[in-house]
Chains A and B, each alone.
Chain A
Amino acid sequence: MMNCKQATHLMSEDLDRPLRWRERMALRFHLMMCGGCRNFRQQIAFLRAAMRMRSGGN
């Protein structure tokens, strides 16, 4: 079973490389049960959006 610490690594890497199928499945399963990690994922997606907006990319 994946823990939150591992999940944060995968969620971050998801922004930098395509996850493998097994990783995606394991992450999806973890996220179904973990509100903290669901919030984390939205937060780092927000960071990317903010960086794009910061450099004027919108």
Chain B
Amino acid sequence: MAVDVCRGIFRFTRIPAGYIAVMTRGHLSPEASVTLADRLQGFFGEHRADLVRFATLQLRDPAMAEDAVQETLIAVLQGHAEFANRSTVKTWVFSILKRKIIDALRVRQREVPISQLGGSDEEREGFDTLFDQRGHWATEHRPHRWADPDDSLEQQQFWRVFELCLDHLPERTSRVFMMREFLELDTDEICQELAITTSNCWVILHRARMSLRLCLEETWFTH
């Protein structure tokens, strides 16, 4: 029943405040229901594709990813009390999706080792040209001091560039990086889920950071 209601919501162009009232079992005032409906409407309208894409990347199973997102919406609608303490819908929804994905990862059997997932193109380190023969930064590639990085975090344009840089990570690298930096799993958990060695995990994370910093330096923090 709850799921049907939620599936229905995805097809509405507006989330009816009435649904919020039903799902929150009348714990919210009518005005609060309308406010919450508006905020969720805005969020899911804007980010549903992101949620599904992220869940799919992590779970590698479109059906499981859909389930995780559906369950997230259900939890969102039921979690009105928690929401009252949250400043943004995004924080809240993504934190719930994170938990759903982590649960799903932990419940299911260990999957195909990540090492069997193609990705040979990313095996090439690709960063050797940044260093000279002795392994020191080549002069033209020496990292610069980024001007006012905190200021960048306030700019919408920065976040668009940052997403593009994230999108450029090879799939396997991206998955490990997101497990570490978005799901905030520790490397032991990541290794276990992906059946890779810890040192392999560190190498992949290093590669992700090398790639992201280079991308930002070349496209955003240009000098």
A interface vs B, CB < 8 Å? 3-6, 8-9, 12-13, 15-17, 34-37, 39-40, 42-44, 46-57
Known: A43-B216, A47-B212, A51-B182. A3 touches B94 (CB 8 A): no
Having A5-B135, A56-B92, one finds 12 other A-B pairs with CB under 8 Å, namely A12-B210, A15-B209, A16-B180, A17-B202, A35-B142, A36-B137, A39-B145, A42-B149, A52-B181, A54-B162, A55-B95, A55-B98
A50 contacts B136, C-beta separation under 8 Å:
no
Of the candidates B149, B159, B162, B182, the one whose C-beta lies within 8 Å of that of A55 is B182
Q: Chain A's interface: helix, strand, loop or mixed, by majority?
A: helix
Residue B153 interfacial (CB < 8 Å): yes
A5 contacts B213, C-beta separation under 8 Å:
no
Of the candidates B88, B146, B180, B203, the one whose C-beta lies within 8 Å of that of A42 is B146
Known: A6-B135, A12-B206. A56 touches B90 (CB 8 A): yes
* Per-position 1/0 for B155-183, Cβ under 8 A of A: 00001001000000000000000001110
B interface vs A, CB < 8 Å? 88, 90-92, 94-95, 98, 131, 134-137, 142-146, 149, 153, 159, 162, 180-182, 186-187, 201-203, 205-206, 209-210, 212-213, 216-217
Q: Chain B's interface: helix, strand, loop or mixed, by majority?
A: helix
Q: In the complex, how many angstroms separate the beta carbon of B97 from the nearest chain A beta carbon? A: 10
A8 contacts B88, C-beta separation under 8 Å:
no
Q: In the complex, how many angstroms separate the beta carbon of B138 from the nearest chain A beta carbon? A: 9
Closest to B217 in A: A43
Q: In the complex, how many angstroms separate the beta carbon of A10 from the nearest chain B beta carbon? A: 9
Of the candidates A13, A55, A57, the one whose C-beta lies within 8 Å of that of B202 is A13
Closest to B86 in A: A56
Q: Which residues of A contact B137 (CB under 8 A)?
A: 4, 34, 36-37
Q: In the complex, how many angstroms separate the beta carbon of A6 from the nearest chain B beta carbon? A: 7
